[in-house]
Structure 1
């Protein structure tokens, strides 16, 4: 969940208002196009303490329950939420568990890994790894 918070699969989503509404101080008439970024939303200090820090423990049940409903939207939200969310999360967990049980991967270079927008999703600009087979 923490990796999805920092590096959501989609970095920009769009919506269209279905009725006249107000977003913050802005009145939006029906039919207004809106773009929002889960990448930026997930890094808001209003929603997450130390938002740029990788902290998997923030998803422990007693802490995750305190998050506001729409502060975490890596797959969108509401009726427009990605239908493949459960499949994607399950697939990633199984893939990582399989790889980690057989291989050890170490980052070759120091420093942060910077994401780069690639079409709709984010990918690392560079992710150089040294992979070795785990001993049985």
Structure 2
């Protein structure tokens, strides 16, 4: 089965990101395909490389980056939600006159069309968070 996963909550405010990560990992281990993981609303905060949790806590951003690298996942951050929350890749930073970017490895910024495409191309769209 082919899934697109939508994450609507930040990494430490809600269980949605942990649940989405564990679902994605389990689906891959069972041989399913993950077409795309789309981060929307506060979920875009899963894609900032500046997150630094305490050493004895899980690093959700790194977990996503590592899973993307291992399985060639498409981790997409909604551009409008990212701009509202101060998340930018090099192109967005330059376009908006910012002096730095903060996107984590394995993530990319794009529009809502990527979510729509994922829903069309997948057997199921699974949403985590409100």
- TM-score for both structures, normalised by structure 2: 0.26
Structure with the largest fraction of helix = 2
Between 1 and 2, higher relative CO (CA 8 Å, sep ≥ 6) is seen in 2
Q: In terms of Rg, which structure is larger?
A: 1
Please, what TM-score do these two structures have when normalized by structure 1? 0.25
